[in-house]
Amino acid sequence: MALALQTKGLVKKFGGLTATNDVSLTVEKGARHALIGPNGAGKTTLINLLSGVQKPTAGRILLEGDDITGLSQHARVRRGMVRTFQINQLFGDLTPLETIGLAVSERNGLGMDWWRVAGSKRALLEEISSVLERFHLADVMNERTAILPYGKQRLLEIAVAIACQPRVLLLDEPAAGVPEDERHEILASIAALPADVTVLLIEHDMDIVFSFAQKISVLVNGGLFVEGLPDDVARDPRVKAVYLGEEAHV
């Protein structure tokens, strides 16, 4: 099976602290792969390395076989790897319509087009509308993002990433902070992704992880600890000890 994403000996050090310790991860094409681990295990750092927000101290990152370790964030997006953020990172002054419109325009190479009016191309408009509809954002599409309720903002957070039409999607705790009764909208939108889109999910919520993932990697103290099928991981006594056991006490 072809690999969508691969890291080789990835290391990230912040001074004396090793946040990512020799991580060699492989994510297969079309996978539903979850990355779990206790707080401070280095999950978000790993996503930051993959998406190019931070540069690794050592190691390489391969996207569909190509070395992208030296590429900038936006270049990785153009190659089809898109991420979402654990804490919403949105454009407060723009409306959801403008936000999605911007992402779609950029992907179609209109970002430097300074003459055409935003959204004047029919095909783009159709795409924008369909994303707004799928993520239940149509009713608030003309509201400023900053004043949207949290649940809508969270949907927009995911919708912007989808509007970039990723082939590899990195989801950093998509349901973080979303109340129980609003979760299904977000989870349904993730479940509805085309099967050929590779998804790497970081999540704390074990219900989500086990309902979604076909494969689970456990990260502890910056290093890969255990990797395997969900049932195997759930049964693994070492995982229970460092992670699930800890959860059970809470």
Partner 1 sequence: MSSATSSILRRASDSLSARVRWHPLEIIFWIVAFAMIWLMPTRHLIMTEIAWLGLFALSLDLIVGYAGIISLGHAAFFGVGAYVAALLAKHELINEPVLALLVAGLAAMAVGFVTSFLVLRGTDLTRLMVSLGVALMLRELANQFGWLTGGADGLQGVVMQPILGLFRFDMFGHNGFVYCLVVLFVLFLVARRLANSPFGLSLVAIKNNPLRAAAIGIPVDQRLIVIYSIAAFYAGIAGALLAQTTSFASLDVFSFDRSADLLLVLIIGGTGYLYGGLIGAILFKLMQDYLSVLTPQYWPFWIGALLVAMVLIGRDRITAWNAPLRHLAAKLDWRATRRAAAAAAAAEDR
Give the interface with partner 1 as residue ranges (CB under 8 A).
51-53, 72-75, 77-78, 82-83, 85, 89-95, 97-99, 101-103, 105-107, 110-120, 125-126, 128-130, 132-133, 138, 141-142, 160-161, 163-164
Question: For residues 68 and 141, what is the distance between their CA atoms, to the nearest angstrom?
Answer: 35
CB 225 within 8 A of CB 215: no
Secondary structure element (H or E) that encloses residue 187, with its range:
helix 180-191
Pick 116 or 238: Cβ nearer partner 1: 116
Pick 82 or 239: Cβ nearer partner 1: 82
Pick 41 or 132: Cβ nearer partner 1: 132
| CB 163, min distance to partner 1, A | 8
| CB 155, min distance to partner 1, A | 15
Instruction: Quickly list H helices, 37-140.
Output: 43-51, 73-78, 96-107, 122-134
Return the number of other C-beta atoms located less than 10 Å from residue 217's C-beta: 23
| CB 124, min distance to partner 1, A | 9
Pick 133 or 246: Cβ nearer partner 1: 133
Question: For residues 12 and 9, what is the distance between their CA atoms, to the nearest angstrom?
Answer: 10
